Structure 1
Amino acid sequence: MMKFWMAPGGLHIEPGETRDAKDLARIHGQSFYRGWPSEEFERFLADKASPVYIACDARRRIAGFALIRNVADESELLTIAVDPKWRGKGLGRALMEAVFADLLLSPARCMFLEVDEQNQPAIRLYEKLGFATISSRKGYYPRPDGSAATALVMARDLG
């Protein structure tokens, strides 16, 4: 059975495949100071415990993705990234809603994530999706200037 969710802008969301690793690394590198290499994405894409959800068009041009890890009754959002030209169009929200819909069929009962405390657009999205800050991790994210940013740890009940 093919999993498929609708997304804004004529895109749809489907499970990622190992062939997507280079595109995911490119989008991740455009989104974060320290992007992950395609080999890292290949490992995640091959692991059933770390599903990847990709937003793409009919020709499979990827506009964004979400990567989670499931362990027992917990799920963690490892990373989510949207191509810069697709930002602000609701794609991040659509990706998260696809993740939540898929997790309804899993044993996961809560989801965790970390987010840079200065990433206000992401924090607003997560709060709208029902996440609440439960702690913080000082010095978690490296910055280009050599300093380190604090990560907020957020959690959401999955029901």
Structure 2
Amino acid sequence: MRWWDIEPVLELERDLFPEDAWSAGMFWSDLAQARGPHATRHYTVAVSGERIVGYAGLAAIGGTGDVLTIAAARDQWGTGLGARLLADLLQAATSFECHEVLLEVRVDNTRAQRLYERFGFEPIGFRKGYYQPGNVDALVMRLGSPVEGTPGGWGHPADPAAPPAPLPAQGTPGTHGTQGTRTHG
């Protein structure tokens, strides 16, 4: 993602996350941390023709990756774009030498939870009332150490036809990130 992508990304952002859309300033701030020898962010966009149809972002600090956002345009849902964006973030986590990747996902977003489970993420806790407005809880998920010898280092997603793992009944909140992961698509 580059600065000139911010306006089209904001259009998608407002469509997909109308109640808590990020501002242009939030994207500018994160993109400022995505270049140079001390970069701690990675953002990518997916383009179809001339149109941005998806985007994703990762923060990496102290060996821990934090998935900040993954979004796919509504007409791209079910096409595998979310999985490709997540794979890109995991490759970036490998480049940042992360030993784990964390994320938050709304407890009512089972579609996103299934995507993360296919990639090996496991539930580790909850954040009560994390998503506002609406006071919706967040499920915190973690993907452990990269697997040597696999493309991107994190292994391949499990069988997409497999049923999702059951959610834990209770847990403890994670300690990372302030924005939370927002996933659509």
Category of TM-score, reference length = shorter chain: 0.7 to 0.9
Aligned partner letter, 1:154: M
Q: What is residue 39 of structure 1 aligned with on the other side?
A: 25
Structure 1 position 86 matched with structure 2 position 76: yes
Determine which of 122, 132, 141 is the counterpart of 1:154.
141
Check conservation: 2:42, 2:92, Cα contact below 8 A: no
- Higher strand content, 1 or 2: 1
Residue 105 in structure 1 maps to residue 95 in structure 2: yes
Matches within 5 A, 1:43-82: 43-48=29-34, 49-59=40-50, 61-82=51-72
Give the drift of 1:103: 2.5
The partner residue of 1:27 within 12, 24, 27 is 12
Q: CA offset at residue 113 of structure 1?
A: 0.4
Match of 1:116 in 2: 106
Residue-by-residue CA offset, 1:19-55 (whole Å, 9 max, x unaligned): 1111222212222221111221111112121210111
State the AA in 1 paired with 2:7: K
Q: CA deviation at 1:101?
A: 2.1
Amino acid paired to 1:21: I
**Identical columns (%):** 29
Q: Could you tell me how far 1:132 is from its partner in structure 2?
A: 0.6
- Report which structure shows greater RCO (CA 8 Å, sep ≥6): 2
The number of aligned residues is 140
CA contact (8 A) 1:111 1:156 kept: yes
Q: Give 1:118 shift.
A: 0.2
1:7 maps to none
> What is the aligned partner in structure 2 of residue 6 from structure 1?
none
Q: Secondary structure at the match of 2:87?
A: helix
Task: Give a deviation string over 1:94-114, Cα, whole Å, max 9, x none.
Answer: 001112223322211110000
Moved more, 119-128 or 25-34: 25-34
After TM superposition, what 4+ stretches of structure 1 lie above 6 angstroms from structure 2? none
Q: Distance in 2 between matches of 1:154 and 1:110?
A: 11
TM-score, normalised relative to structure 2:
0.71
Paired with 2:111 and 2:124, the residues of 1 have a C-alpha distance of 18
Asked if the contact 1:24/1:41 (under 8 Å) is kept, the reply is no
Q: Structure 1 length as normaliser, TM-score?
A: 0.82
Gaps of 5+ in 2: 35-39, 147-185
- For 1:54 and 1:158, the matched residues in 2 are separated by 25
Kindly provide the CA deviation profile for residues 123-147 of structure 1, in whole angstroms up to 9, marking residues without a partner as x.
010111110110101111124xxx3
- Contact 1:133 1:153 survives alignment (8 Å): yes
